[in-house]
Amino acid sequence: MLSNTQLLLVIESWRLHARRGIYVLNQIWECAGEEKRVGTRTVFVGNHPISETEAYIAQRFCDNRIVSSKYTLWNFLPKNLFEQFRRIANFYFLIIFLVQVTVDTPTSPVTSGLPLFFVITVTAIKQGYEDWLRHRADNEVNKSTVNIIENAKRVEKESEKIKVGDVVEVQADETFPCDLILLSSCTSDGTCYVTTASLDGESNCKTHYAVRDTIALCTAESIDTLRAAIECEQPQPDLYKFVGRINIYSNSLEAVARSLGPENLLLKGATLKSTKKIYGVAVYTGMETKMALNYQGKSQKRSAVEKSINTFLIVYLFILLTKAAVCTTLKYVWQSNPYNDEPWYNQKTQKERETLKVLKMFTDFLSFMVLFNFIIPVSMYVTVEMQKFLGSFFISWDKDFYDEEIKEGALVNTSDLNEELGQVDYVFTDKTGTLTENSMEFIECCIDGHKYNGVTEEVDGLSQTDGPLTHFDKADKNKEELFLRALCLCHTVEIKTNDVVDGATESTELTYVSSSPDEIALVKGAKKYGFTFLGTRNDCMRVENQRKEIEEYELLHTLNFDPVRRRMSVIVKNQKGDIYLFCKGADSAIFPRIQIPEPESPKIRNAIDSTKQHVERSAMNGYRTLGVAFKNIAPDDYERINRQLIEAKMALQDREEKMEKVLDDIETNMNLIGATAVEDKLQDQAAETIEALHAAGLKVWVLTGDKMETAKSTCYACRLFQTSTELLELTTKTIKECERKDRLHELLIEYRKKLLREFPKSTKRNSKKKAWTDQEYGLIIDGATLSLILNSSQESGSSNYKSIFLQICMKCTAVLCCRMAPLQKAQIVRMVKNLKGSPITLSIGDGANDVSMILESHVGIGIKGKEGRQAARNSDYSVPKFKHLKKLLLAHGHLYYVRIAHLVQYFFYKNLCFILPQFLYQFFCGFSQQPLYDAAYLTMYNICFTSLPILAYSLLEQHINIDTLTSDPRLYMNISGNAMLQLGPFLYWTFLAAFEGTVFFFGTHFLFQTSSLEDNGTVYGNWTFGTIVFTVLVFTVTLKLALDTRFWTWINHFVIWGSLAFYVFFSFFWGGIIWPFLKQQRMYFVFAQMLSSVSTWLAIVFLIFISLFPEILLIVLKTVRRRSARRNLSCRRASDSLSARPSVRPLLLRTFSDESNML
């Protein structure tokens, strides 16, 4: 409790803060990972009060401990068990186990308890080990040593003891222990260089800045004298956004306010580079750092195979209930005869006679449930998890995915979707950096309506250091220099060099560093033509002109690029005091902001028209174009602009909206200087990859923010569009501004009629094959038209725009969506995901603007590109190049799906084979719930005897060679639409199991027509009968898997023949032959005596052959059919082309019957 004096001091402190414009917000500590974080927080630098006369109460924030672990030593057991028993199969077997314990059931509780215990234990060990690794990693971070400034001294502490407000000293090559606001560094201008490779994968150095008022505080003593308060937003996960301000107090207690943004924030996990040391104040700690928030709450994706497993479980649960109900009913029908109900040798007890019949029937029903419960394969879940986890390593180990340039290969971020790679229907891809290299080269430019490009002969005008420049009707000299100055000044490029730039001549080769390859290409282009950017020093940008003179421009403001504005600007002042705004951006963002020339200025109007034509021609050639503009700013106007910018930057609430409004007002009435054309080369094998995806039946959509002409040219280059493809356009050009909705409706109706005439209704598979023989159509749509379609009013007649648009898209071979915002990309993916039939979608991209569509799609793939690693970090899989998508889908995806589909079907098959004889046996034992198999066999069947062969198969099987899969993409269509887990294959496996189970039982029953199977007259009993059935069962289901195996390795041989050998060994062991101490149990010497009969041997071999005969016959028929197909193909190959597409090379046709395990 606070005393009255302390309370008065606190109230007075708040009053003083309010007068100075600081609103102190006492907050309650919030749980990490909370989605909605509103309001602000106030951080006192060094945890010092603003004034020594004021009372200071430390605010409550979370500590700096990182906790990525899921469990603790105390909650591991209950929490893990709770999570595991949320799974339906585990909970079902728990109920069965409890029924066996509480009710008099025919089998021991061990038969279901031990497999359940095995499954729970294996899963718990796996999850516990993974969590132990997380604990160990957390301790390495939390116990690391950091330097804290306390009382003007450097104090070493553990990282977990850092508090919000502490001033931290970080040395070169050290990792920032929490999110810090940079106060000062060892450099005179208060800058430092940081790499964020551990956060977003970007290895290039980023420059961060301290506010000008604290850059001189470079020692522990001086930094301790700082009295300041930081107001900033509550923690949120966006790595690239930060809103705050710092209020610095001098001795007069007059606050100096400075805005804080992402350039002032040093993120936990980033590394300090090329800077000896920095001082920063902790603003976010522990689980509230941006790094921690980014690793929380990632949505879980479920594959189509998981959904099929749940469906199959429901079917088999119904079969189980049906069996139990039938047996319970027939039991009481059979017992309706008094002699059968109570034979003389088995009289009922008084308690049994008094038991209610309904209760007795319910108990019998539960007993039959227990007897037949092994039809539900509980161990399948563990096997599936192991298969996914171990199988994911094959992608990481694939040497074909290794890229020599970045020295990295593929990375699997989640193993739950391996099989989904074989079920993709739609591929959504970015253009820049995904289909193209994102390696820009300055090609040409247009200045004041005059085109310039490089040739080999010397001319006047724009000179260059590497070669001459040719022009078409030369522009004014002043305009040329102004254009090149704009390229040298309007950017965020930094210079990375070992030598200090000093003087007009440079002896060191300049290395330009920027997050955007476009900017580097433009700066290098200007340097090539005589204007060299020398870097920024003390907020002055230095440029060397064609005359080798150094020009200095004071950088007043940088108006950064953002995807909404699609432009960036700088405001600079030259040495004469003139203030300029230079702006560059997409032509759609620049041309509408150009000052409209007067009618009496035809020359200016012609220059603008010529520049627009140049931009269109360059875009048609596949170049990336940017417009460049400028305007003079009068001193009075600048004062107003400066005041507006400062007010917007100081805002803590809605800063982005306020900045957008101010920038929109500033960047108007500009004068067009010219335009640039930059070439982005197509990635290696991008065209071949798209061709292969098309041949595999996949539909490829390109979603890009680039302009239509550039994107269209790229689509032709990468063969998304063929020369014969008829393009349907839904863009602002085809839809006039006036009556846009009417014109859009007309076009949609027209296109739908045309496509419906070409493509009448057909099945999915037929439509895929037909697309290669009929006229191909491609659709082009831009962001504005898409918004009109998606946001159409439900009340008007345009409410069906979306459905008509989707019908058109479904009939098109390829779709190009240009001028797309990141949110629109996600909307497109979501729209296709929700189509009838729920097609599987895949998104691939390399930049932060692709993250939304990567997270939205069923499978997200990130390219480890030059725009950072945001996409790779948020994806399910990441690969170095777009070309790797071909093998990832056509080979790995195909094999993963076939393997796991076979695994699922095999598990249900072998368990039905296992339980059906048990069901049939009840008809011959008076429905007495007598088990056919010994308890040890019931327990070991799924755990030991049949588990390893199918696991090895699901990891190693290659029913078709990988080279064949990649060279013949059409094979991918054979497994599309979850083909191997549809009703047809499921019924085939079910009937096959029913046939084999019937053969097992009645074949053995026929053998037992003669009760004496030995010459000495020894009579076999029910345990011998069950052991013979079980032996035939184990050998049949194992040999069935051997027949399905196409790709044999020593591991397959070891587990298949080893499992059979282990069964024989265990049977001898359990029968007391090897271990004589077991001779008291009921299976003593049963297996050995059984094998002593020649008729038993013959019966076992004969029954195995009869059971496998349909499979053997099917394999023979497939072999004959395949050879016939190959002969026919070789005869047609010379005259027939495999594909109607002229650019697709002939492929080896292979029929669906090649797969031995498919129907």
Q: Which residues are catalytic?
A: 430
Give CA torsion, residues 1135, 1140, 1144, 1147, to 10 deg: -50
Judge contact between 632 and 578, C-beta under 8 A.
yes
Judge contact between 223 and 279, C-beta under 8 A.
yes
Given CA atoms 757, 763, 768, 769 in this order, what sign does their dihedral have? negative
Cα of first residue to Cα of last residue in the chain, in angstroms, is 78
Amino acid at 663: L
Hunting for tokens 């198999």 — which residue is that? 933
Please state the three-class secondary structure of 651-714 as a single string. CCCCHHHHHHHHHHHHCCCEEEEEEEEEEEEECCCHHHHHHHHHHCCCEEEEECCCCHHHHHHH
Ordered DSSP codes for 1036-1052:
HHHHHHHHH--S--HHH
Name 1088's Cβ contacts closer than 8 Å, sequence gap at least 6. Answer: 1068, 1071, 1073
Judge contact between 871 and 437, C-beta under 8 A.
no
3-state secondary structure of 954: helix
CA 766 vs CA 56, 282, 693, 772, 890: distances in Å:
76, 62, 17, 11, 20
Hunting for tokens 């007009």 — which residue is that? 504
Residues 633 and 551: their CA atoms lie apart, in Å, by: 19
Helix axes 894-921, 1022-1044, angle to 10 degrees: 160
Residues 656 and 858: their CA atoms lie apart, in Å, by: 32
Residue 1145 DSSP one-character state:
P
Task: Report the DSSP beta bridge partners of residue 167.
Answer: 149, 281
Other Cβ atoms closer than 10 A to 298? 11
Name 1093's Cβ contacts closer than 8 Å, sequence gap at least 6. Answer: 1013, 1014
Residue 75: name the closest of 113, 139, 127, 137 by CA: 127
Amino acid at 733: K
Residue 430: name the closest of 754, 904, 154, 822 by CA: 822
CA 1075 vs CA 21, 233, 933, 1070, 1081: distances in Å:
87, 72, 21, 7, 12
Ordered DSSP codes for 877-896:
EEESSTTHHHHIIIIIIHHH
Residues found in the chain: 1159
Name 703's Cβ contacts closer than 8 Å, sequence gap at least 6. Answer: 428, 429, 430, 431, 817, 820, 824, 825, 828, 853
Residues 229 and 226: their CA atoms lie apart, in Å, by: 10
Task: Report the DSSP beta bridge partners of residue 282.
Answer: 180
Please state the three-class secondary structure of 40-86 as a single string. EEEEEHHHCCCCCCCCCCCCCCCCCCCCCCCCCCCCHHHHHHHHHCC
Judge contact between 309 and 980, C-beta under 8 A.
no
Phi, psi dihedral angles at 42 (to 5 degrees): -115, 125
